[in-house]
Copies of this chain bind each other. A is one copy, B any other.
């Protein structure tokens, strides 16, 4: 980044979100985003592969948080607690920006191609958590099952967390939802 473009990534992200909300995602071009952020198109492409990736720029960090939570969980943690630690850590990261998360989700809900990309991100998160759990000595099949359930709780809890009438923070919704799934699976 040159010193004439302080926080170009941040300004591009902000400009993209504003334009997507105002004009619609499909109607917005990279040229317009760059112009609105006061940088060149070339600068845009230094940070993002395309206009879709502006919305998925935080994926790597999210996955990183989840994996590190598994790695740093206490010795002897049960597999499902390793997964719980992972998704709570990811939720804590998103909690920092609830309004951003809501605006982003509104865009995703309105665009099928973004929904598919978001599902791919969740599948990547699930696979990364499964790998991290397996690296703690859990058999791979069990790690995959636990990570899959935990990621689906993370997604279901997300929808509740961004609802207008929800007052709990995201990690708390994740914790409560995990507990609720536990009870559902025990009752049969």
Within 8 Å by CB of A146, from B81, B112, B159, B181, lies: B181
Whether A13 is near chain B, meaning CB under 8 Å from some CB there, is no
Which of A1-9, A56-64, A88-96, A137-145 forms part of the interface with chain B?
A137-145
Docked-complex contact A160 and B141, CB < 8 angstroms: yes
Q: Which of A123-163 contact B (CB under 8 A)?
A: 123, 126, 141-142, 144-146, 148-149, 151-153, 155-156, 159-160
30 residue pairs bridging A and B, Cβ less than 8 Å apart: A78-B184, A78-B188, A79-B184, A79-B187, A80-B184, A80-B185, A80-B188, A116-B116, A116-B117, A116-B119, A116-B120, A119-B119, A119-B122, A141-B156, A142-B180, A145-B156, A145-B177, A145-B180, A145-B181, A145-B184, A148-B155, A149-B149, A149-B152, A149-B153, A149-B181, A181-B185, A182-B186, A182-B188, A185-B185, A186-B186
